[in-house]
Amino acid sequence: MLNIEEIRSQFPILQTRVYGRPLVYLDNGATTHKPLVVLNKLQEAYTSFNSNVHRGVHALSDKASVEYEGARETVKRFINAPLVSEIIFTSGATASINLVAFSFGERYISAGDEVIISEMEHHANIVPWQMVCKRKGAVLKIIPVLDDGTLDMERYRELFSSRTRIVAVTHVSNALGTINPVREITRIAHDNGVPILIDGAQAIQHGNVDVQDIDCDFYLFSGHKVYGPTGIGVLYGKSEYLNEMPPWQGGGDMVDRVTLEETTFNELPFKFEAGTTNFIGAVGMAAALDYLKSTGIEEIGLREKELLDYATRKLEGIEGLRIIGTAPEKIPIISFLLEKVHMYDAGMILDKMGIAVRTGTQCAQPLINRFGTDGVIRASMTFYNTMEEIDALAAGIVKVKEMME
Ligand code: PLP
């Protein structure tokens, strides 16, 4: 059992008041708050070992490099990657996907080839693939979403052809909360001889992720959604692909030898880390992963299931409220619409009550449009939320209805 009061005291921002009311933060899918251990680690980094990594022989640079490479080890252990050299630091999930789409695309995708994504993807896992398909003359094929917000697995099986080069799907939907069966999705891709990228941006903070168990070829996430700092993210990739893929950005640290005529490249993972990386962000993110581990990933999962069940029951009881996304396996995200109130009106009135929810397309326009709307209201919870906050949301929605209907 988690001690929620004690946990909340570790997140200073949760004590904030907005418009004189206690903050009820239900926008954790967009970004999560940071516990003191992360904030303290960032302060320690800037005040005691700030110095560029891998560059100097002096003590501070050495300490910063040791911390940075230690963070890589922490990430490796957290997702159970086989090799530390398969962990690449990026600026976030979006950058990780763009890296793979560009670099894998350069090496493996040609005119007439096919890429499979799903209708459920965040724009970050749609647009880079559209860009590479356009550049290469390849074709994007789409796994449809069923009415409950799960993927149409039958249709998925039928999408493969001898021209399929890669599958890219999300582990968890940011708009609906659906947890996809990524082991099965991966097995099907591999049965067809095709590698797979899994977007873990909404999964890593909610449960155990074991990339060897999933057996995916690429996995990625952002630091800021897993209680770490912004501007840092991870790409895990199997060396058999990463070694073959060309670098996607040039500059310092990714080189081996440079002449004015040509350059040979560094080994993994540095080949994909051009320029000064966000080494302080990496150290802060590692502190966040350690925090999650010590809090207990299983316990967090159980707590979040309780929150999801309670919130679903509460919101289902409100007349004229339609929940979009009713998959059997979900993280604590509830997207909904009100029959007679526009989402933006609802979002703005809830805000005045101190309740932060997300309104709009959720950066997943194709998915939202598939449900016959141009936006939803999304409450995304995490383990530090309370049942009282869910009560406040439900009461707030009832108030909105009274005011607007
Ligand atoms: N993928 C999913 C499923 C997301 O929810 C998000 C952000 O909301 C992203 C990718 C992009 O993450 P970032 O903006 O941190 O790069």
Check whether 308 has a pLDDT greater than 90.
yes
The binding-site residues of ligand 1, defined as CB within 6 angstroms of any ligand atom, are: 92-94, 122, 124-125, 170, 174, 199, 201-202, 222, 363
User: What 8-state DSSP symbol labels residue 22?
Assistant: E
Nearest to 95 by CA among 262, 273, 351: 273
Furthest-apart CA pair in the chain: how many Å?
Answer: 71
Cα–Cα distance for residue pair 242/68, rounded to 1 Å = 21
Q: Where in the chain is the domain with CATH 3.90.1150.10?
A: 4-30+296-404
Cα angle 111, 116, 117; round to 5:
130
pLDDT score recorded for residue 285:
98
Q: What is the pTM of this model?
A: 0.98
Other CB atoms within a 10 A radius of the CB of residue 94 amount to: 21
pLDDT score recorded for residue 57:
85
Burial annotation 128-138 (CB, 10 A radius, 16+ → b, else e): bbeebbeebeb
Question: Which is catalytic among the residues 100, 254, 363, 367?
Answer: 363
pLDDT score recorded for residue 56:
75
Check whether 197 has a pLDDT greater than 90.
yes
pLDDT score recorded for residue 274:
96
Check whether 164 has a pLDDT greater than 90.
yes
Nearest to 272 by CA among 87, 399, 130, 142: 87
Parallel, antiparallel or unpaired: strands 139-143 and 114-118: parallel
Tracing tokens 């993807």 back to the chain, one arrives at 121
pLDDT score recorded for residue 19:
96
Quick one: average pLDDT of 295-303?
96
For 311, residues 6+ apart whose C-beta sits below 8 A from its C-beta are 332, 334, 379, 381, 390, 393
- What sign does the dihedral 394-399-401-404 (CA atoms) show? negative
Query: Which one-letter amino acid corresponds to residue 119?
Result: E
Domain 39-293 falls under CATH 2.40.160.20: no
Does 363 qualify as catalytic in the annotation?
yes
pLDDT score recorded for residue 161:
98
pLDDT score recorded for residue 1:
86
Check whether 295 has a pLDDT greater than 90.
yes
Quick one: average pLDDT of 329-337?
98
Mutate to test the pocket of ligand 1, among 32, 91, 118, 122 (most ligand atoms within 8 A of CB): 122
Could you tell me which CATH number the domain at 4-30+296-404 has? 3.90.1150.10
108: left (phi over 0), alpha (psi -120 to 50) or beta: alpha
Residue range 48-86, pLDDT digits in tens: 999 999 877 899 999 999 999 999 999 999 999 999 999
47 Cα–ligand 1 center, Å: 30
Between the alpha carbon of residue 359 and those of residues 104, 309, 349, the distances in Å are 34, 22, 12
Other CB atoms within a 10 A radius of the CB of residue 151 amount to: 23
Query: Which one-letter amino acid corresponds to residue 257?
Result: R
Asked whether 352 and 332 are in contact (CB, 8 A), the reply is no
DSSP run (H or E) holding 337: strand 333-338
What value does the mean pLDDT of the chain take? 97
| Percent residues over pLDDT 70 in the chain | 100
Check whether 126 has a pLDDT greater than 80.
yes
User: What 8-state DSSP symbol labels residue 324?
Assistant: E
pLDDT score recorded for residue 54:
84
93 Cα–ligand 1 center, Å: 6
Residue range 176-193, pLDDT digits in tens: 999 999 999 999 999 999
pLDDT score recorded for residue 8:
98
Ligand 1 atom closest to 230 (CA): 15
Residue range 14-50, pLDDT digits in tens: 999 999 999 999 999 999 999 999 999 999 999 999 9
Confidence class of residue 99 from pLDDT cuts 50, 70 and 90?
Answer: very high
201 Cα–ligand 1 center, Å: 5
Q: Where in the chain is the domain with CATH 3.40.640.10?
A: 39-293
Confidence class of residue 252 from pLDDT cuts 50, 70 and 90?
Answer: confident
116 Cα–ligand 1 center, Å: 19
Check whether 382 has a pLDDT greater than 80.
yes
Mutate to test the pocket of ligand 1, among 91, 99, 174 (most ligand atoms within 8 A of CB): 174
pLDDT score recorded for residue 363:
95
Q: Which residues pair with 21 in a beta bridge?
A: 18
Instruction: Kindly state the tokens that stand for 105.
Output: 């695309």
Query: Which one-letter amino acid corresponds to residue 253?
Result: D
